[in-house]
Amino acid sequence: MTGLQGEPVKLLLDSLKIYSPTTKESEFANFLCQKMEKMGYSKVHIDKAGNAIGEIGRGDLSLLLCGHMDTVPGNLPVRKTRDSIYGRGAADAKSPLCALLAAGALAADTGIRITFAGVTEEEGEGAGIERIIRSARNFDYAIFGEPSGANRITVGYRGRVSLHVTVKTEGGHAGSPWAHKSAFDEFSSMLSRLREYEQANQVPEDHFRSLSISPTLVNAGSYHNVVPSLCEATLDLRLPPSLRASTAVREIRSIAEKSGEGVEVKIRPGEPTEAYEADTSSMLVRAFQRAILLRLKAKPTMVRKTGTGDVNTFAHRKGIDCVTYGPGVSATSHTDGEIVRIKDYLNSIEVLKEAVEQLAALGSRSGA
């Protein structure tokens, strides 16, 4: 492969050997910059958010190839077998990132201006993508690297908002619980009402189009024989495209207010991320469909995921067509068994290169 010196697998193995949990991506960013310079990228630099940025190619259309450098915590040994590679980030999401980097170099002569960005803190507060959004760069299309499989195009992600819930009551002696309201019991009752709200926002057998409410942190009580007067909890809401975060927060607040006298409930939402679903008739999706048919001789599959990613924030703020694509066994993400099939990884590079070529051809025919 031109510019890669025939070593895409080594690129991935070397990347996996650099431990880069969220906020500790600097070593990996320097590594990517060195690789970009060798592959022919220009304007290579690390920006103020720690993102590794490079540009390649020329043309009227501008394309962002964006993968995240950070992983969840927990270093894992890197291991290669005859057909697979294991290690932290093998699935989420260093194999997609390396595929984007390699494909960008291979697509340098397709007639599209390509910007590669290895971004920080996707698994955290999203500082990396926020910097890209606020920069002066404008793009016509964007491809984000996340695991799905070489013949699968991810066209949708649910939204997310976290709620910090505080429930206060008078508390009292555990020997007479009938005389004192328990903050924990009141929280439990509220959660039961929220389950009814959750059920009212379900689409049978379609998790992507359904609301989910997950209590992730719950803390109550101060002593073993005292009815809790304070309960604090965090609820993780995953939002379908039909439900905006502001609507969900407003309706949940209304449900919480039904807790009754002697109970104080406060709900403080975190920064919301709205759901995103791509236009499946867009040139970008069509380019991927053609690329998969041509390179893999396989039927393209469109996937809608129940999680949330950088693509949600970027697509809404920039208002452009985006998809997510990449190799890796997504079911192993954030586990100790992260894995990517080598054939899947190499195939995804070929598909990405072909998709850029198809996008250039479609753009030229449409006069874009």
Judge contact between 125 and 119, C-beta under 8 A: no
Which segments of 198-349 are extended strands (E)?
Answer: 212-220, 226-227, 230-239, 264-269, 276-277, 301-305, 321-325, 339-341
Contact residues for 152 (Cβ-Cβ < 8 A; gap 6+): 300, 301, 302, 303, 325
Q: Which two tokens stand for residue 265?
A: 């409930």
Exposure of 43 by Cβ count < 10 A (0-12 exposed, 13-18 middle, 19+ buried)? Answer: exposed
Distance CA 65, CA 338 (A): 23
Query: Among all residues, which ones are annotated catalytic?
Result: 70, 122
Q: Dihedrals φ, ψ of 164, to 5°?
A: -95, 120
Q: Which two tokens stand for residue 120?
A: 């920080």
Q: Which two tokens stand for residue 43?
A: 């304007």
Which residue, 340, 306, 363, is CA-closest to 8?
A: 340
DSSP secondary structure, 305-331, as one string: ESS--HHHHHHHHH--EEEEE--S-GG
Which residue, 20, 45, 34, 10, is CA-closest to 117?
A: 45
Cα distances (Å, whole numbers) of residue 40 to 11, 54, 94, 107, 138: 15, 9, 20, 11, 22
Judge contact between 359 and 285, C-beta under 8 A: no
* Residue count of the chain: 368
